[in-house]
Amino acid sequence: MEDKIISQAVIGRLPRYYRYLGDLKDSGIERISSQDLSKLMKVTASQIRQDFNNFGGFGQQGYGYNVEYLYNEIAKILGLHYKHNLIIVGAGNLGQALANYVNFERRGFIVKGVFDINPELHGKELRGVPVQPIENIEEFVKANDIDIAVLTIPKDGAVKTAEVLVRCNIRAIWNFAHVDLNVPDSIVVENVHLSDSLMKLSYGISKFDNSN
Amino acid sequence: MEDKIISQAVIGRLPRYYRYLGDLKDSGIERISSQDLSKLMKVTASQIRQDFNNFGGFGQQGYGYNVEYLYNEIAKILGLHYKHNLIIVGAGNLGQALANYVNFERRGFIVKGVFDINPELHGKELRGVPVQPIENIEEFVKANDIDIAVLTIPKDGAVKTAEVLVRCNIRAIWNFAHVDLNVPDSIVVENVHLSDSLMKLSYGISKFDNSN
């Protein structure tokens, strides 16, 4: 599996499969056919089979998929069986929202440190984790086995912080700043550009206006 | 243009063009060639030309694109020349972060109402907008020309609220709840599934582990 290149589109769909399978599992459903999963998720059964074939299939023909097995296998592919230590840079509303979101911790993403430029926030605790000055990032990341940095700060600060994080050999950046970060390819960057998302929504509304 | 079907992939790229052109405009740059834009954005020049050809080109051969003209044209395509009234359902950290984000207002997205199930928050103001009981949504949306509802509440509440919003003929839902909403096709839904994004990040880290 390591040698096989899986398309970004397939990877992008895995979390959604994982979410639906989790709901099925929580509802006590043990098996599901690709047809039923297809109806539930509103994608074609052939798409589901093709996606799963990238990972060797998972399927038992005629019996459908074992929900818990499939859920666990997708978790492994997504790397959710490992714990990841993370820091949040920016203790504003968005940083606080993420720090307080207990589901992330349940999935193995542990908030170890929170940093902010604002001295008034220093020492304030978010779920038991004190906010520290932004100057402490480099030392903290190196000393605490931090994999992931979450950037919830404005774009100028995000660009500067990314440079620090590159020096610390951070493995991944979850970037909420409204800017594309320029980091080596060995660092995984996942962007959440909220303004871009809102613009797509706005486009959708305009399109309906134009077509009516 | 109304009759032409533009692919979702092209639409998905427009906000990024808009962001880069805005930065260029703010830096006082008046013209840019597709080659220079290509280097800046790290996409091919032919991709840029193809994308813009969907909207009639915008280009003046040999002289490059007029930055401000292109910026304004993309804004029009994205519907950003209209103001949109919105409500935020869920006044927790994420709802507050969005309510306080001034850039949305600059782009014409005006927060008119905020709603929450928690009585302790009722009457609290977010940038001058008081938090109301969730029961008020239907009347408020109908009376205040609301286009967009932002859902920053857990999934069960989001599903119920979506039903109310459908009855009020809401035009668009910006959904942060960890669930896919089942609404008529005439309602634009843009999902921001933060957990899905974090899982993609986790996958990226695992992939590096496997390949090293």
The pLDDT of B163-183, averaged and rounded, is: 96
Whether pLDDT at A176 is above 70: yes
DSSP annotation of A64: B
Whether pLDDT at B174 is above 60: yes
Q: Which residue is closest to B83 within chain A, CA to CA?
A: A202
Partners of B78 on chain A (C-beta within 8 Å) are 199, 202-203, 206
Whether pLDDT at B2 is above 60: no
Q: Specify whether the CB–CB gap between A113 and A146 falls below 8 A.
A: yes
- pLDDT top residue among A66 and B60: A66
Whether pLDDT at B62 is above 70: no
Q: What is the DSSP string of chain B?
A: -TTSPPPHHHHHHHHHHHHHHHHHHHTT--EE-HHHHHHHHTS-HHHHHHHHHTTT---BTTTBEEHHHHHHHHHHHTTTTS-EEEEEE--SHHHHHHHT-HHHHHTTEEEEEEEES-GGGTT-EETTEEEEEGGGHHHHHHHTT--EEEE-S-HHHHHHHHHHHHHTT-SEEEE-SSS-----TTSEEEE--HHHHHHHHHHHHHHHHHH-
Tokens of A145: 């086995």
Cα of B21 to nearest chain A Cα, Å = 12
Report helix, strand or coil for A199.
helix
| Cα distances (angstroms) measured from residue B121 to each of A201, B91, B150 | 28, 8, 17
Is any Cβ of chain A less than 8 angstroms from the Cβ of B195? yes
What are A138-168's pLDDT values in tens digits?
A: 999 999 999 999 999 999 999 999 999 999 9
The confidence score (pLDDT) of residue A107 equals 86
The confidence score (pLDDT) of residue A54 equals 83
The CA-to-CA distance between both ends of chain A, in Å, stands at 49
The confidence score (pLDDT) of residue A53 equals 85
Is any Cβ of chain A less than 8 angstroms from the Cβ of B161? no
Whether pLDDT at B212 is above 60: no
Taking CB atoms within 8 Å and a gap of at least 24, the contacts of B164-169 are B164/B137, B164/B138, B165/B137, B165/B141, B167/B138, B168/B137, B168/B138, B168/B141, B168/B142
Whether pLDDT at A60 is above 80: no
Helical axes A194-211 vs B8-26, angle rounded to 10°: 120
| B188 to A196: CB separation less than 8 angstroms, yes or no | no
What are A73-132's pLDDT values in tens digits?
A: 999 999 998 999 999 999 999 999 999 887 888 889 999 999 999 999 999 999 999 999
User: pLDDT over 70 for what percent of chain B?
Assistant: 95
What are the φ/ψ torsions at residue B141 (nearest 5 degrees)? -60, -45
Is any Cβ of chain A less than 8 angstroms from the Cβ of B185? no
Q: Which residue is closest to A176 within chain B, CA to CA?
A: B194
φ/ψ region of B28 (left if φ > 0, alpha if ψ in -120 to 50, else beta) reads left
CA A106 to chain centroid, in Å, comes to: 13
Q: Is the dihedral of CA A48, A50, A51, A53 positive or negative?
A: positive
Tokens of A48: 């589901």
Q: Specify whether the CB–CB gap between B118 and B138 falls below 8 A.
A: no
Is any Cβ of chain B less than 8 angstroms from the Cβ of A193? yes
Is any Cβ of chain A less than 8 angstroms from the Cβ of B40? no
Is any Cβ of chain B less than 8 angstroms from the Cβ of A2? yes
Whether pLDDT at B3 is above 70: no
Partners of A210 on chain B (C-beta within 8 Å) are 1-2
- In our burial notation (b when 16+ CB lie closer than 10 A, e otherwise), range B77-89 reads bbbbeeebbbbbb
| Cα distances (angstroms) measured from residue A208 to each of A11, A40, A203, B3, B79 | 31, 27, 9, 12, 11
Report helix, strand or coil for A121.
helix
- pLDDT top residue among B8 and B73: B73
Alpha-carbon span A12 to A10, nearest angstrom: 5
| B97 to A92: CB separation less than 8 angstroms, yes or no | yes
Whether pLDDT at B7 is above 80: yes
Prediction pTM value: 0.89
Whether pLDDT at B98 is above 90: yes
